[in-house]
Amino acid sequence: MKIKIGISTCPNDTFAFHGLLTDKVDCGGFEFEFELLDIQELNDRLFVGDFDIAKASFHAAILLADQMLVMPSGSALGFGVGPLLLAAEQNAAADSVESFQQRYGRQPIVLCPGQHTTATLLFQLFYPLDVQLRQVVFSEIMPMLSRGEADFGVCIHEGRFTWRESNLGCVADLGTRWESETKCALPLGGLLGKKQLGTDVLQKINAVIRSSIEYGNEHRPETLLSMRRYAQEFSDQVLMSHVDLYVNDWTIDLGETGRRALHELSTQANSIGIAAPENSELEIL
């Protein structure tokens, strides 16, 4: 059975799927056809039904809840994993977004890594302000801030480890704020499966994916081959730091902690009108 699957180029995904990408794990009778894309590209392609299984931001997952369910394995979820709100000003204060209009007489320009990313949802939750919100590819956010082309940017992925090298300021850790206000882990993204495939098929696919994640955990040095192939010129140390942060027990299985976090994210999204309550509760396989 052919399964069209989309994953991101981020190290946590190429680490988790290394076993399948390199034929080191039994495919369980499935023929996986992979595409590796930026997370917002994956979100966009899911909205037009291009994948049977795909990584998605949980923001996008909420909007797709009537068509897709969340696979128990493959998520990026945890504590201390959230996006950072960075500023072009190195010494930016904690209230610099709120006070920007008064200080400079214009709306701040804020960069986010995609309309349906969880990073954008968090910014909208915590900063319900009049700003010029612009969506760009995540890897462009720090360079644009450094060039003075924007005032603030929501930084994800490897940027958590490298932002200081760009002489930027950190206004807030949005993940820390989420944890403080909700007492939940932060759900960033996960694998979605088409409901029309049926529970039995999806459970078999999830078992294969789980095996690939476990293979990666058991063969960490080997996974660098896949991570280097798709990473944007980061060192092995940064790649493994990324894996250490985003691949954890909840990547293997969401468990009760993950389920509670997803319920809270749905509730928070409903509170600002992201989706109607009757359509946004995430169903987990």
User: Catalytic residue numbers?
Assistant: 157
Taking the C-alpha atoms of residue 218 and residue 210, their distance in angstroms, rounded to an integer, is: 12
Q: Are 223 and 15 in contact (CB under 8 A)?
A: yes
Give φ, ψ of 122 to 5 degrees. -65, -40
Q: Which amino acid is at 103?
A: R
Rounded distance between C-alpha atoms, residue 163 and residue 167, angstroms: 7
Query: Which residues lie closer than 8 Å to 173 by C-beta, 6 or more apart?
Result: 82, 84, 85
The answer to whether the beta carbons of residues 60 and 116 sit under 8 Å apart is yes
- Cβ atoms within 10 A of the Cβ of 173, count? 17
- Total residue length of the chain: 285
Backbone region of residue 127 per phi and psi (left: phi > 0; alpha: psi in -120 to 50; beta: other values): beta
C-alpha span between 270 and 280 (Å, rounded): 8
